[in-house]
Amino acid sequence: MSKKDLRLKIDELSSALGTFKGLEIEVGRIFEEDWEEPLGPTPFPNVGTLRSWDRKLLNRYKPFYMPFCDLCCLCTFGKCDLTGDKRGACGITMAAQQSRMFLIACCIGASTHAAHARHMLDHLIEEYGRYAPLDVALNTNVEAPHVRLVCGIRPKTLRDLEDALEYVETQLVQLMAAAHTGQEGDNIDFESKAFHGGMLDHVALEVADIAQIATLGMPKGVPDVPTTQLGFGSVDPTKAVIMVIGHNVLPSVDIIDYLMEHDLFGEVEIGGLCCTAHDNSRYNKRAKIIGPISWQLRFIRSGIPDLIVVDEQCLRTDVLIEAKGIGIPVIATSEKSCLGLVDRTDDEPDRIVDDLVEGRIPGVLIINPRKVGEVAVKTVMKVAPRRAEFKTLTRKEISKLAEKCRNCLECVRACPNNLPIMDAVQAAAQGDFEPLAALYPLCVGCGRCESACPLGFPLITFINKGAEDRIMGEKYPIRVGRGPIQDVEIRAVGRAIVFGEIPGIVALVGCANYPAGGADVAKIAEEFLKRRFIVVTSGCSAMDIAMTRDEEGLNLYEKYSGVFDAGGLVNVGSCVANSHITGAAIKIANIFAKRPLRANYEEIADYIYNRVGAVGVAWGAMSQKAASIAAGCWRLGIPVVVGPHGAKYRRNLLGRKDKEEDWMVYDARTGDEVYVGPVPEHLFYAAETVEEAMVMIAKLSMRPNDTSKGRAVKLNHYIDLYQRHYGDMPDDLHLFVRREVDIPFTMKDEIMEVLKKAGWVEDKIAMPDPTITERLVRRRT
Amino acid sequence: MAAQTIPGQTAEIAGPKKAFLIQKPEVAAAMMKRAKRVLLVVGSNAVNIRTKDGDLVDTAMRLSGLTNITVAATGHLVGEFKRRDVDDVHTMSLMNLGDRLRDSGWEGFDGNGPYDLALFVGFSYYMEWLVLSGLKSFAQDLRTISLERVYQPNASWAFGNMTQDEWEEVIEKMITILEGK
C-alpha cells in the first residue's frame, strides 16, 4: 500500500482556454513502484492487525494491576465502584478499567506527539515545500525505520511523511473510540490497543524529528556534535533573557533567526527548559539549556528571565501567574495552549510589543512563529532593564515568614516524595538554611507544597534561596542531540549486540519525576558506561546526566564519547528523537541481520525481542507521552524499567520465571518448541530503588539468542551488581546458565556450587534460533 | 478517629472500600497469631525508620524469629540484612511480590502454600498504596495489614496516623505480645 501522489508540473501550457504558467496538478495517489523490497504482510496495520503478536507478549507478561482509583467516572451511570470482582453499570471490570485508562493515557501521549508532528510538518512544508528531501543522517540509507516498518513506505520528501502521519491520526481516532462506554471489554484487548498506540507514537515521533532534521540543519546523526551549556549559570544574566519552555522548536527557531539576522546574540540570551531547549541547541549551539521540565518554577522565581515564550507540552498551566509574580510578559505560541490570551497573530508587531512592555496585557497568543521571533526579541530588550526592580525574598524575610509556620505537615503530605519540607522551614525560622538547600536536588519542582500551605508560603522560592549559592553559578557541558544512529554504526556493532558481546543498550529517557533527584540517572548511566553497554539518552534524562561531576570536575559527557558503540554515551536529543533509539533496534534487525523491513512489523519485533539486548529506563517517567513511548517499546519487544512513581501507570507487565511453560520458543531451524529460560524476565517493571533498577537492567539485557560468550558477559554484570547491592549470589542463576561455558570464568567455582544446589542440569535450557512466531520457522521436523 | 484515617499523602484518596482501623496493638497481634501463614514484607525505607530495636530492619529481624512469620525484603534491602548476618530473610521485588500474592496458586517462598496474611511496612507511601490497591482487588482471599505510622487505606487493616513515638510504642507492644512476654 505504499502510495504517493501523481504530480504533474507544467512550466507553461497554452490551450484553447488560455496560457497557464507554473501549473501543478495532483491526481490522487499511486503505489510507489521503485522500491525493490517487496511489501511485507502488515502495511498500515489496523487496530487488530497485530493483535496476535501482542497477545503472545501479553500471555507471557501478564498485567499486575494496581488501581489508581477504585471508581470509573467516565459516564453518567457512574460513579461505579469496581473494587474486587464488582462490575460497572456497563459491565466493565476493574482489570479492564485499568487497562482502558492506560489506553487513554497512551492515546493522549501519541496524539500529543502526532499533533506536534502535524504542526511541524505543515509548517515546514509551507516553508520548504512538499518536496524538500529527507536527508536526515550521514552514511544512512534507512532514513525512517519506523515509517518503513509500520507503513511500508520509503519516505523521500516531506510530502511522503504526510502519508505516515495521516495514517497515525486515523488510527488514533479508532483507538480512542475503543475507550468509549460499551466498546472494548477485555483487559488484554485494551492492552493490545495500548501497544498499538505506542507503535503509532513512534511513527509520529520519527516524522516530527526527521522533518526538522532535514530542514532546520540539525545534526544528522553525527557522534561528535558540538557541546552547549546547561544550568542556571549557562545564562548570562547581564543580557536580556528569553526563557522558552516546551517541546516544539518552531517559535524558538524564529527567535534565534531574528537574533542572528539582527546580530543581537551579544545582547540577548535564549535559554530553554525541556525538549525545546534540546532542539534549540540542535539548531544553534548558542542557545542554552537551562534544565529539565521540573525547573520551571525554579527558574522563573529566580527573577532571571525577562520574557517567557511557551510552545507546547508539559508546560505549567499557571505560567501566567508565575510570570506576573516577577513582572514579565508571556507569549503563547500554540493553539493547544492558548492560556486564555488574546490572539494577536494578525496585529502589527510593534503594537503587540508596546502592549506587552507597558503591561497593558499579561501576554499574547501569536500563532505565526516568524512574528513570535520579532515580537519576542523586541519585547525582551525593552523589558530587561526593569529586571533590577524585581527583588526575590531575602533570607531575613524568609526566616520571618517561617516563624509563622503552623507545623500542620500539609506541605509534607502534599509532596510526591514526602520531603521533610516542614522541618526545613522550621530550621529556616532559626536562620539555618541548610535543610532547605538539602531539599533542592531532591525536589521535583511541582509546587504542590505551596498549594497545600495554609499560609501560602512560596516554598519553592524558600528552597531556591536555601540553595542559591550553589545553583546560580551551576553550569555543565552537554553534547547537543545528535539525532539518528547511522547505518554504518549499526553495521559496526550489530553482531556484537546480537551475540551479546556488547552486553546491551540502555536507553535512559523520560521525564524528571524522580524519587530522589536526578543524580540517580547519572548514577545508572555511569554504571553501565563503565560496563561497556551502549547508553543512549534523550529529554530530561539527558540533562540530568550532565549534572553530576566526578572528583576531577568532569561530567559523563566529558568522559564518554558520543559514538553508538560500547561505552558510548549518545544523546539523541528531545522526546521526538526517542524514535531513533527504537529505530536503532529496528535497524539492527534490518541492516545487520538483513530481515525485511518493509511493513514487516511482527518479524522485526520478534527479532528484537529475542536478540537485541535493549532496555528502556524512564526513571522519572511522569507524562502520558512517556506511557505511549514505553508502549511503543513493548510492542517491539523491548522491556522498560521505571522508577517508583512509574507504578502509577496502574500496572506492570511481569513475567513469571517460576513458570517454565511461559518461556517456550520455537527453534526456527527445526520448529521444535524449547525452553529458553525467563529472558527477558519482564516487559514493564517499576523498581523501588535505583540499586534494584540497576540489577534488573543488567538482568533484562539477556536474550535467548546470546552466544555463550555473550551470556557469560551479561551474567557477569548481573551477578556483580547483585552481589554488590544484595550482598549475595542471585538465587535464579540456574534459569540463565544454559551450559557450563555460559558461566563467567572468574566466578566458575562459586557459580557451579550455586547451580548444584539448585539442581541445575546442563542443556535443559536450549540455545535455539529463537522465535515466538510460528510462521517464522523455516523447516518443520 | 477521622484524623487517624486521612491518607498519608493528601490526594491518595481510596475507596469506597477502605482499611479498617487497628485501634490497639493487641488487635494486630491477635490477627497475626490467628493467621496460619504470615508474610512480613519490608521495604527499602526500613533502614531510615527508627524503632525501639534500632531501626525497622532490626525489628524485622526480631519478627523473623517467630514461628509463623516469613520475612521478605524488597528493593535491595536484603543486602542490609546480610550485613547484619541475617540469612533467613527472603528477597523479592515489591512488584514481583505483589504479582505472586495475587496468584492463589503461588505456594510461597517455602513451597508450603499460600500466605493468608501479608504485613507491609517500610515503603514510600504511594508505592505501598498502589500494591495494596492491587491486592485489594485482585487477591481477595488475602488479608493485608499495613504497619506504617500513617494510614494506608488500601490495606484490609491499617494503623491510623500516629506520632513517631506513639508508633514505636505500638510496634513494640505488638511484638512483645507476639513473643508471649
Q: What CATH number is given to the structural domain containing B112?
A: 3.40.50.1220
Q: What is the DSSP letter of A157?
A: B
Residue A654 is nearest to which of B80, B95, B126, comparing CB atoms?
B95
Q: Kindly tell me if the per-residue pLDDT of B21 is higher than 70.
A: yes
A22 pLDDT band (50/70/90 cuts)? low
Is residue A355 domain-shared with residue A238, that is, in the same domain? yes
Counted domains in chain A: 3
For range A328-347, the mean pLDDT: 98
Is residue A382 domain-shared with residue A402, that is, in the same domain? no
Is residue A284 domain-shared with residue A331, that is, in the same domain? yes
The fraction of chain A above a pLDDT of 90, given in percent, is 93
Please report, as a single letter, which amino acid is at residue A764. K
Residue B127 is nearest to which of A84, A94, A688, comparing CB atoms?
A688
End-to-end CA distance of chain B: 30
Q: Kindly tell me if the per-residue pLDDT of A10 is higher than 80.
A: no
Is residue A283 domain-shared with residue A235, that is, in the same domain? yes
A1 pLDDT band (50/70/90 cuts)? very low
Is residue A372 domain-shared with residue A428, that is, in the same domain? no
For range A381-394, the mean pLDDT: 90
| The pLDDT of residue A779 | 72
* pLDDT tens digits along A338-363: 999 999 999 999 999 999 999 999 99
Q: Kindly tell me if the per-residue pLDDT of A389 is higher than 90.
A: no
Hey, which residues 676-715 in chain A have their CB within 8 Å of chain B?
Answer: 685-689, 691-692, 695-696
- Minimal CA separation from A734 to chain B, in Å: 17
For range A113-132, the mean pLDDT: 98
Is residue A375 domain-shared with residue A307, that is, in the same domain? yes
Q: Across the strands, what pairs with A477? A: A229
Tell me if A569 sits within 8 A of A525, measured CB to CB: yes
CA distance A426 to A402: 6
Q: Across the strands, what pairs with A80? A: A72
Residue A727 is nearest to which of B82, B123, B125, comparing CB atoms?
B82
**Does B130 contact A648 at a Cβ distance shorter than 8 Å?**
yes
DSSP codes of every residue in A182-243: TS---HHHHHHHHHHHHHHHHHHHHHHHHHHHHHH----S-SSPPEEEESGGGS-TTSEEEE
Residue B8 lies in a domain: no
For range B125-141, the mean pLDDT: 97
Q: Across the strands, what pairs with A685? A: A641
Chain B residue nearest residue A80, CA to CA = B16
The fraction of chain B above a pLDDT of 90, given in percent, is 91
Tell me if A130 sits within 8 A of A158, measured CB to CB: yes
CA distance A361 to A341: 9
Which structural domain range is residue A8 located in? 1-33
Is residue A249 domain-shared with residue A384, that is, in the same domain? yes
Residue B10 lies in a domain: no
Residue A689 lies in a domain: no
- Minimal CA separation from A415 to chain B, in Å: 8
Is residue A294 domain-shared with residue A381, that is, in the same domain? yes
**Does B131 contact A65 at a Cβ distance shorter than 8 Å?**
no
Which structural domain range is residue B42 located in? 19-178
Residue B153 lies in a domain: yes
Residue A777 lies in a domain: no
Is residue A466 domain-shared with residue A339, that is, in the same domain? no
**Does A84 contact B137 at a Cβ distance shorter than 8 Å?**
yes
For range A480-506, the mean pLDDT: 96
Domain of A302: which CATH number? 3.40.50.2030
Residue A248 lies in a domain: yes
Residue A315 lies in a domain: yes
Chain B residues with CB-CB distance to A67 below 8 A = 133-134, 136-137
Is residue A378 domain-shared with residue A451, that is, in the same domain? no
Residue B149 lies in a domain: yes
Q: Kindly tell me if the per-residue pLDDT of A31 is higher than 60.
A: no
Tell me if A50 sits within 8 A of A58, measured CB to CB: no
**Does A726 contact B91 at a Cβ distance shorter than 8 Å?**
yes
Residue B76 is nearest to which of A64, A644, A691, comparing CB atoms?
A691
Residue A299 lies in a domain: yes
Residue A301 lies in a domain: yes
DSSP E strand boundaries for A319-397? 330-332, 363-365
Counted domains in chain B: 1
Residue B28 lies in a domain: yes
- Only one residue has cell 540570551, namely A269
Residue B5 lies in a domain: no
Hey, which residues 126-145 in chain B have their CB within 8 Å of chain A?
Answer: 126-127, 130-131, 133-134, 136-138, 140
Chain A residues with CB-CB distance to B78 below 8 A = 726-728
| The pLDDT of residue A2 | 40
* pLDDT tens digits along A638-665: 999 999 999 999 999 999 999 999 999 9
Q: Are strands A288-291 and A569-573 parallel, antiparallel or unpaired?
A: unpaired
Chain B residue nearest residue A448, CA to CA = B10
The set of cell numbers assigned to A625 is 507521552
**Does A695 contact B76 at a Cβ distance shorter than 8 Å?**
yes
CA distance A279 to A271: 11
**Does B44 contact A689 at a Cβ distance shorter than 8 Å?**
yes
**Does B133 contact A66 at a Cβ distance shorter than 8 Å?**
yes
Q: What is the DSSP letter of A388?
A: G
Q: Kindly tell me if the per-residue pLDDT of B23 is higher than 70.
A: yes
* pLDDT tens digits along A132-147: 999 999 999 999 999 9
Residue B109 lies in a domain: yes
Residue B31 lies in a domain: yes
Is residue A364 domain-shared with residue A315, that is, in the same domain? yes
The count of C-alpha atoms lying within 13 angstroms of the C-alpha of A183, restricted to the half-sphere facing its C-beta, is 15
DSSP E strand boundaries for A648-690? 651-654, 664-667, 673-675, 682-686
When the pLDDT of each residue in chain A is averaged and rounded to a whole number, the result is: 95
| The pLDDT of residue A313 | 96
In angstroms and rounded to an integer, the radius of gyration of the C-alpha atoms of chain A is 27
Is residue A235 domain-shared with residue A375, that is, in the same domain? yes
For residue B137, give every residue at least 6 positions away whose Cβ sits within 8 Å of its Cβ, in sequence order, or none. A65, A67, A70, A82, A83, A84, A94
A23 pLDDT band (50/70/90 cuts)? low
* pLDDT tens digits along A671-712: 999 999 999 999 999 999 999 999 999 999 999 999 999 999
For range A389-408, the mean pLDDT: 94
Q: Kindly tell me if the per-residue pLDDT of A781 is higher than 60.
A: no
**Does B95 contact A686 at a Cβ distance shorter than 8 Å?**
yes
A14 pLDDT band (50/70/90 cuts)? confident
